[in-house]
Structure 1
């Protein structure tokens, strides 16, 4: 057995290793997406508005844990390496899904969200891994591939989850069908832990690590101060923050919203996620690279902001499910936002601070995830409970659209490229 800080059997870290890990992780997340709100609604006695409020609370607690622990794990990955932090995250996810399998009440779900929020730094640490093994001028492209891995997970995962919780499996295992997707997700998360333990190499060599773990940098306030110290990182971080708030609208209300407004069941919701996930993969694998070469990282960022703003607007106004689906190609342009943003931000810091940067981003994500569920779940429940707003169940999605129009304005102002700090050139690899 190898130590947690070294590459197994001396393997050289490469993009292909972290891509495989991120893919498996995203699938495990995706499996639970169409099922968790239904389980919450079941515990809430079938009341959609009450389920929206509970989902809001769970999302806010998850975000609070991200806000506190994201910077800690980011700074820790700069000190001891990316691999051990990823192992902690994968094992935490497996534990979380196990909780969901046996949860007898909403309070158990609450505990599971706390554990998940504490350990769910895998996406940000994976991005730091990408920055370690790719040169600055190719990072946007590889961040796009990482987005594709998440997109594929959210493409196939919800379909698997919908089938596992669907009528056929219910006829075989009865009421346990709604818990079965969590058992599968937990198994995938544990397999990812084993992959990390025995296969995944370390990407950050000891000579490039931070000399010590600094609690002043690891606390949320210190991580946000780091963004301020890096000049134009503040403007770019604001774009990401607005996007993260807006992006919370779909996890917060999508399943309940489409079920209420269009009468969709879990399988229809899963197939819709399959379609939108497929469009995301096409964008991230085939479009990001050419767009960045043609218009640069700033251009990709602006197109992504505009696509999100207009896509959310169309989603919120769509009176029928068919028109909602027709807006999916427009919203797919939002997949250009994160690669462009990550490429611009990673250029502004050296290799020893990539984990700190991603930890600060994770902290902002945590704040956004606290705000988002209250903003969107609250506005959705408010619209359902007030007759004057009953015709506007898409109100939370329209709020998300307004936030993205604001993000576009900030990106226009602060998205200009900055000089890259001196770093040792890494060889791009997909091995």
Structure 2
């Protein structure tokens, strides 16, 4: 594999770690800093995740447009330096408010996921885009393995130790990128920076006006709200329903991340050849619906782990949708497209934790009965909505 692609995949992995590394230790970290019970920790966890997502919503299109105008290389390298410093800030945070500042900065630097996606689009042939976006999805999955594993196994050294490790990784990747990352935005494909198009709403209009893109943007939004149920409540769900400790939560997330990485790095290419884009998307949605409903009603933690590889098959739909959209977007708007996708995902990431953690609270200690898996029921319904939108879309799949 070419070294620039390795750098891009490591960068995406680190972006995923920004979410994953915090999951296993978050309940204990919030209780350590702010006090309260698990329900209170879930409430603050939802706020921190929502703030992280809000920054990605606001800065995704801006960073995507900057990379279309000034190049991918400087955007990626500068963000890594800031990311390393942010992890150090999180490591020493002694109040919930300083932790909040750290999540704000982390959300901004995490928006470079858009530039990584645009870089991959730059170097991919049209027929390779869906599969190569699968590599990015696989790297994100590995991040969900590495992050929770670091967070879980280093929890014995304290709730801050994982952040010091993450800072070292980000700094090391910056040094690596300095030597191996060439620029992919040619003079012919650069477009003048327009601040009016750098805000989310203008970027949405620019991409949504392209043929067939509006319904795909809606699908990405609904799907993201549904899928962020996992980072939003998994740690709290596992602790409440199965009595899992941080190490076990980390292992469960690692199992899902490994499975998703295998699906998106290895299995998606033959699946696309056999099913084509349209059937691949629909198959992923259906698997997601079944998996989410199974999580609700399975009472044994080990059975949930056994179902993980099957649930991970649902991840074939995301890269395929991105490939469809990238092929329908001009070369000089690839960064803008990825910025819009990032912003939509960020809105989902902001809304989902607030909804899902509230539903979790309502069905565990809020007097609505006892069903810790209730958020997964809502997620399954949302994915079913994605199926309806997709099958009624007349765009070329």
TM-score by length of 2: 0.94
1:189 to 159, 170, 174: 170
1:404 aligns with 2:371: no
Counterpart Cα distance in 2 of 1:388 and 1:218: 43
The alpha-carbon deviation at position 366 of structure 1 amounts to 2.0
Match of 2:313 in 1: 333
Counterpart Cα distance in 1 of 2:359 and 2:13: 33
The alpha-carbon deviation at position 302 of structure 1 amounts to 1.2
> Residues 86 and 121 of structure 1 are in contact (CA less than 8 Å); yes or no, is this contact kept in structure 2?
no
Counterpart Cα distance in 1 of 2:27 and 2:207: 35
The alpha-carbon deviation at position 33 of structure 1 amounts to 3.0
2:182 to 201, 204, 220: 201
1:381 aligns with 2:361: yes
> Which ranges of structure 1 fall in alignment gaps of 5 or more residues?
1-11, 170-176, 419-431
The alpha-carbon deviation at position 139 of structure 1 amounts to 0.8
Structure 1 SS opposite 2:172: helix
Structure 1 SS opposite 2:183: coil
Q: How many residues align?
A: 396
Counterpart Cα distance in 2 of 1:195 and 1:163: 26
1:372 to 348, 352, 357: 352
1:36 to 3, 26, 38: 26
For 1:206-245, what aligned pairs fall within 5 Å after superposition? 206-210=187-191, 212-245=192-225
Structure 2 SS opposite 1:414: coil
Structure 2 SS opposite 1:206: coil
Change (3 A) 1:374 1:159: same
> Residues 25 and 188 of structure 1 are in contact (CA less than 8 Å); yes or no, is this contact kept in structure 2?
no
Change (3 A) 1:374 1:32: closer
Structure 2 SS opposite 1:32: coil
1:82 to 72, 75, 96: 72
> Residues 21 and 151 of structure 2 are in contact (CA less than 8 Å); yes or no, is this contact kept in structure 1?
yes
1:71 aligns with 2:61: yes
> Which ranges of structure 2 fall in alignment gaps of 5 or more residues?
none
Counterpart Cα distance in 2 of 1:56 and 1:415: 37
Match of 2:132 in 1: 142
Match of 1:158 in 2: 148
Structure 2 SS opposite 1:332: helix
1:283 aligns with 2:263: yes
Match of 1:303 in 2: 283
1:178 to 139, 155, 159: 159
Change (3 A) 1:373 1:21: closer
Change (3 A) 1:100 1:366: same
Change (3 A) 1:203 1:29: farther
Q: Deviations over 1:183-218 (max 9, x none)?
A: 1011111222222233222121222111x1111111
Of stretches 322-331 and 336-345 in structure 1, the one that deviates more from structure 2 is 322-331
Counterpart Cα distance in 1 of 2:26 and 2:87: 11
For 1:418-429, what aligned pairs fall within 5 Å after superposition? none
Counterpart Cα distance in 1 of 2:259 and 2:172: 27
Q: Deviations over 1:234-272 (max 9, x none)?
A: 111111111211121111111111001100011111111
1:417 aligns with 2:375: no
Of stretches 53-62 and 188-197 in structure 1, the one that deviates more from structure 2 is 188-197
> Residues 70 and 360 of structure 1 are in contact (CA less than 8 Å); yes or no, is this contact kept in structure 2?
yes
> Residues 44 and 50 of structure 1 are in contact (CA less than 8 Å); yes or no, is this contact kept in structure 2?
no
Q: Deviations over 1:41-79 (max 9, x none)?
A: 322324111111111111221222112111100111100
Structure 2 SS opposite 1:417: coil
Change (3 A) 1:363 1:20: closer
The alpha-carbon deviation at position 229 of structure 1 amounts to 0.7
Match of 1:422 in 2: none
The alpha-carbon deviation at position 124 of structure 1 amounts to 1.8
The alpha-carbon deviation at position 106 of structure 1 amounts to 0.5
Match of 1:322 in 2: 302
